[in-house]
Amino acid sequence: MSRVVVAGGAGFLGSHLCERLVARGDDVVCLDDLSTGTETNLLRLEGDPRFTFVVADVSSEVPVEPPVDAVFDLASPASPPAYLARPLETLAAGSEGTRRLLELARRSGARFVLASTSEVYGDPEVHPQPETYRGNVDPVGPRSVYDEAKRFAEALTIAAHRARAVDVGIARIFNTYGPRLSAEDGRVVSNFCVQALRGEPLTVYGDGTQTRSLCYVDDQIDGLLALRDASVTGPVNIGNPDERTVAELAEKVLSITGSRSQVVHRPLPADDPRRRCPDISLARRALGWEPKVTLDDGLARTVAWFRERLAT
Ligand code: UDP
């Protein structure tokens, strides 16, 4: 049994992670400032003696005292509209927030797991992306608030490891979807599911030939837990290499929902990466992990969840 801190625990990934940690017998302290996460995501954990929720912005305080056994740093806005609406807060989360959480891990002798991102590769010129690829990021581009915050968070994390002997693991998380994606935060899977179920047009940005590789949330959490339990420093890509175009994804959502919605095209956001696909050789080798849930199966589960949510 471990005492585990999950910063960003009321978010999409964080809330699934908290549930899985509690289910395996850990005591969980969830920190979240509720800027993009919601207490609704934590309803299943309410009243559980193994679970504590504290409202806190980790960029200004980490109200947890040692000892803890592990610290997960997932505290950041993560969807493009969410981080673009909170540019300075996003940079603070990846710098001051990560620094404070690393300090808690150092004082506790705890393992620290950083939720980094495929966005550190920017608009990649190497495909698929292995961890050794250094990325193509514009430091003053519109996405830089998130990309550079996470790149800095990785730099801080590896520095804490090298200079202060903190036990760290860096996960580079690729696009992940599933129940509890926010209907409002503008990501492709949530937008398409909600639009299809409401009979509204599906908004494909650009010509829809850009690609993403989508990982179902349960697989993603398996990967993060494997990294917590390993002694791998990484960075290690955690994602599903099943690469699809955005247009193909729209068609899939239409067929799974049985919706008669039209597909409309909208302007491509500035700096939208053309292609993205993880090379997960390292995760397979070092963590014995690979995703299991197919896109059809994962989308069906996600659509079922949105259908229920929109009905209430
Ligand atoms: N996208 C789209 N329609 C939408 C939302 C997103 O075509 O309603 C596209 C977006 O331009 C990008 C991809 O889907 O190419 C994934 O976008 P998302 O915001 O989910 O995540 P990103 O990988 O860009 O961070």
Residue type at position 38: T
Q: What CATH number has the domain bearing residue 68?
A: 3.40.50.720
- Which pLDDT belongs to residue 180? 95
Q: How many domains does the chain have?
A: 1
- Please report whether residue 59 resides in a domain: yes
Which domain does 11 fall in, by range?
Answer: 3-177+215-240+277-292
Q: Does the beta carbon of 80 sit less than 6 angstroms from any atom of ligand 1?
A: yes
- Please report whether residue 117 resides in a domain: yes
- Asked whether residue 312 carries a pLDDT value surpassing 80, the answer given is no
- Please report whether residue 259 resides in a domain: no
- Please report whether residue 267 resides in a domain: no
- Please report whether residue 304 resides in a domain: no
Mean pLDDT across 39-51: 97
- Please report whether residue 84 resides in a domain: yes
- Which pLDDT belongs to residue 13? 98
Mean pLDDT across 254-260: 97
Whether pTM > 0.85 for this model: the answer is yes
Q: Does the beta carbon of 142 sit less than 6 angstroms from any atom of ligand 1?
A: no
pLDDT tens digit sequence for 293-309 = 999 999 999 999 999 99
- Which pLDDT belongs to residue 257? 97
Catalytic residue among 83, 146, 177, 216: 146
Mean pLDDT across 19-37: 98
- Asked whether residue 65 carries a pLDDT value surpassing 80, the answer given is yes
- Please report whether residue 80 resides in a domain: yes
CB 12 within 8 A of CB 38: no
308 C-alpha to center of ligand 1: Å? 24
- Asked whether residue 1 carries a pLDDT value surpassing 90, the answer given is no
- Asked whether residue 271 carries a pLDDT value surpassing 90, the answer given is no
- Asked whether residue 185 carries a pLDDT value surpassing 90, the answer given is no
Q: Does the beta carbon of 220 sit less than 6 angstroms from any atom of ligand 1?
A: no
146 is catalytic: yes
